[in-house]
Amino acid sequence: MSTRAQAQAAAPSEEHCIAIRPGALTQSRQGHHVFEGISAQSTGARALCMHVIAIPPGGRARAHLHEAHESAVYVIEGEVQHRITAGAGEMAYIPAGVPHLPINASADAPATFVAARTDPNEQESVAVLPALDALAHANLTADVVDLESARR
């Protein structure tokens, strides 16, 4: 029985605080290695999700955007490039609808970060943008990218 199910069985009519450990390593639609954490599915969250994401040395995700929700990351180790560069101990904010392409530019050190989003079903509004995968971060600005073409 999951942590959420145990909490609901104890008192189904009350709200509960739930502590969980990041779950199994999975692959997201955008190509991240994700340790699943808080989401609608794991805790019953209604307005956010939070996961731990690991990018191996030289690794990257696919270019994508989150159509209907904002994202924020806190870098635990390494350095992550997401249109901007954020290093260990730094945070980055990504508005809804902004294309980004997470990259770990290090050849020998992993990058690990906590990602929080304002949609409890984190993958629901992800739009993968294969046409942007080859572009440099400088070209991933909303004013120079034709998003409709990129989605095809």
Decide if 7 is inside a domain. no
Q: What is the pLDDT of residue 136?
A: 54
This prediction's pTM: 0.75
Q: Mean per-residue pLDDT for 1-27?
A: 64
Decide if 15 is inside a domain. no
CATH code of residue 75? 2.60.120.10
For residues 105-134, one letter each, b for 16 or more C-beta atoms within 10 angstroms of the residue's C-beta and e for the rest, the string is bbeeeebbbbbbbbbbebeebbbbbeebee
Decide if 13 is inside a domain. no
Decide if 3 is inside a domain. no
Q: What would the two tokens of residue 58 be?
A: 């030289």
Tens of pLDDT, residues 44-102: 999 999 999 999 999 988 888 888 899 999 999 999 987 789 999 999 999 999 998 88
Decide if 111 is inside a domain. yes
Position 122 confidence tier, pLDDT thresholds 50, 70, 90:
low
Decide if 64 is inside a domain. yes
Kindly report the number of other CB atoms within 10 A of residue 20's CB atom: 14
Decide if 87 is inside a domain. yes
Which residue segment(s) compose the domain that 147 sits in? 21-151
Q: What is the pLDDT of residue 62?
A: 87
Decide if 16 is inside a domain. no
- Number of domains, the chain: 1
Task: Let me know: does 73 contact 115? Beta carbons within 8 Å.
Answer: yes
